[in-house]
Every structure is written in structure tokens, then in C-alpha cells.
Amino acid sequence: MGAGKRNLTMAAVAVVCAMTVLGAPVTAYASQTTPTDPTPSTRTSPTPSPVSTPVTNEELETVRLKLEGLYHDASVATDAYNAAEEKADKQSEEIVDLAHEVVQGQQKLDKLQDLIGAAARAQYRGGGLPPEVQLWLSQNPQDFLEGADRLRQGQLATKGLLAEMNRTQQDLEQYSKDASARWEKLEANRKAKEKAKKKIKKQIAAAEELEAQLEDDELERLAQLEEDAAQESQAAWLDSGILDEINGKASPQGKKAVKFATDQIGKWYEWGAEGPTTYDCSGLTSQAWAAAGLTIPRTSQEQWRQLKHIDIQDMRPGDLIIYNSDASHVAMYLGDGSIVHAPRPNRKVTIAGAGTMQILGVVRPDA
């Protein structure tokens, strides 16, 4: 959110409601123990370190599945973070709009009070309505005043101005209520963002810690197991004959989206990122379609919920494939059974087989 928008948001809060933010510092305490140094008489000869047992492929497969689960949970939390961020941005914009309404309403109220005073003074002096009062009540003052004597002119003017002032006061009260409600939602979404952020970091840290326990050769074998599992899934998908049915051609916008997405190949995944140097899965797809001139939802779950669903045999390059039963991952279809996507933390934007993951369905942004 820009500095000007942020200032207007705070101005709205100052006009509408008073907010108190309470925070309590969290202090972490680490227990400390002082190791005792044994006396020379109690020292013993060092015991040789036991020879580590090689990690089997079965154990590495368990690690692979565990990592898959951790990164999946991180992806779900990333969607929650992105959704909360999107809502918070929208609510901030709404608060800024309400700030303008409040300021304009107060200015209108002040003007009405001045006009009522002018009309009252004119009646007291027995004169006609001041020109500014006439212009306020009617674009054609003669129509308003026609057929009315001077006393009735003043009475009508005062009555009309008071009614307008009452409506303006009611509007200001409603603006205040709306701003307060939006501020509460904004704070709730900020808390949701922080909660999701903590979960993301926790899941990624757990995955990295698990990988850090492996030796270099074990990491290589783990990577091979991941590749083998992906290829097995892709082969099963292709063996179904699905490509015999998929022959759609990209739309002009779809071609632009595909070009943007493939131009990002080699850039690192980063949760919550929308480019230009890093992306998460839905950050890549939403920005690719933005480059094609179309705004689509920010998260994979909202892309699945809001965009038009397409039968898989009808998909064409540029369409988005949604993965997992909870719609926690998204990729862009390139054609010939391939996708481009931002896979997960510690991976780069890359091309993969469309069938390497569990497909939930396909959506088309430019339907």
C-alpha cells in the first residue's frame, strides 16, 4: 500500500474511530547448564564413534512422503496468507474511500450550516434569500421561488436545508459505522496473515531440518526418488491416452500468458511472491495472465472457485491446471502434456509433466 493511501487510511481512522493496538513482548528463555569437567582420575579413553547405518531407499521414501506433506501444508498456508493479504489490501482501499466520503460529508455539513444561518439572517432582516441559498436549493432559483411570497421563501429554504443537513448527518454516521466494520475486518485479516505466515515458516523449517539430516549422497538418492515418482505419475497419465483427446489451440491472450510464464523459468520459488524475481505458484499464474491483459484471482483456491471449469480433454495452452483435492497448487498448461509452474520452496520455476501431481481440474481465465 502506497504512502499516500496509508496516510488517508490513518486519517479515516482518526475521523471515524479510535483504535488502540495492544501488544505484549514475547521473551524466550533458554535453560543453561554448566558442564562439569571431569578430574584426571575420572577421565576415560574416548569411545570410538559408532559407524552410521546407511539410509535405505525405503527410509528415503518415507522422508520423501514426509517432505511432500510438509511442503503441501506450507502451500495451503501460503494460499491462506495470499488470500488474507488480498482482502486486507481491498479493505484498506475501502477505508481510504470512506475517508474521502467522511471529509466531503463534513465539508457539506459545514456548508449547510452556513447556508441555514444565512437564510435565518435574511428572514430576520425581512429580505429575500441570499443567492447562495437559492443556488443550493435549485439549479433554477426562479422555479423554486415562483408563486411563493417572501416569508414562505424563507420557510421553504430553511426546511429544505435542515432536511438536507439531517440526511448528511445520517450519511456521516453510516460512514463511521462502515469504516469501523472495515477496520475490524482489516485487523482480522492482518492476524490471519500473521498466523499463516508462522505456519508457512514452521512447515518450511521442518522440511529443511529433515533434509539437513541427510548426507550428500542421500540427498541425491532422494532427488532421484522424487524424479522417479513424478515420472511414474506422468507415465500413468499419458498411458490413459489423454493426449489423444487434447488438441486445443491457445487463444491470443493465452499465448501471451504462456510466453510470460515460460520467460520466468529458472527464477526461485518464494511464498507470497508475485515477481518480478521470485514467484509462488499462483503468483506466477496470476501475473502471467495480468501480462496478457486479464486480471484473475490471486490464489489457486480462488482461481479454482471463480474461473470457468473446462473438461480436461478440452484444455488448451494457457489454461490453468489445479492440483490436489484442496486446490493448493496451480500450474499453466503448455501443450503436449507439459506445464510450467513454481513448484515449492527451494525449487525454481520449471517445466514438468502435467500428470506428475494429482489433478483436481482445469480452469480457463479467458473463457
Please list the active-site residues: 281, 329, 341
Structural contact between residues 323 and 330, judged by C-beta atoms closer than 8 angstroms: yes
CA distance 147 to 140: 14
Q: Residue 56 has what DSSP assignment?
A: P
What is the spatial distance between Cα 87 and Cα 186, in angstroms, rounded to a whole number?
Answer: 8
Size of the chain in residues: 367
Q: In the structure grid, which three cell numbers stand for residue 253, read together?
A: 491472450
Under 8 Å between Cβ of 279 and 287: yes
Q: Cα–Cα–Cα angle for 236, 237, 241, nearest 5°?
A: 105
C-alpha cell at 132: 447562495
Cell of 345: 520452496
User: Burial, 277: exposed, middle or buried (Cβ in 10 Å; 0-12, 13-18, 19+)?
Assistant: exposed
3 state DSSP class of 32:
coil
- Report the b/e string of 134-154 with b at 16+ CB within 10 A: bebbeeebeebbeeeeeeebb
Distances in Å between the Cα of 149 and the Cα atoms of 141, 146, 155 are 14, 8, 10
Work out the number of other CB atoms within 10 angstroms of the CB of residue 168.
20
Strand 338-341 and strand 320-323: pairing?
A: unpaired
Q: Establish whether the linkage from the previous residue to 345 is cis, with ω within 30° of 0.
A: no
- What gap in Å lies between CA 165 and CA 115, rounded to an integer? 10
Q: Which three cell numbers stand for residue 174?
A: 453510516
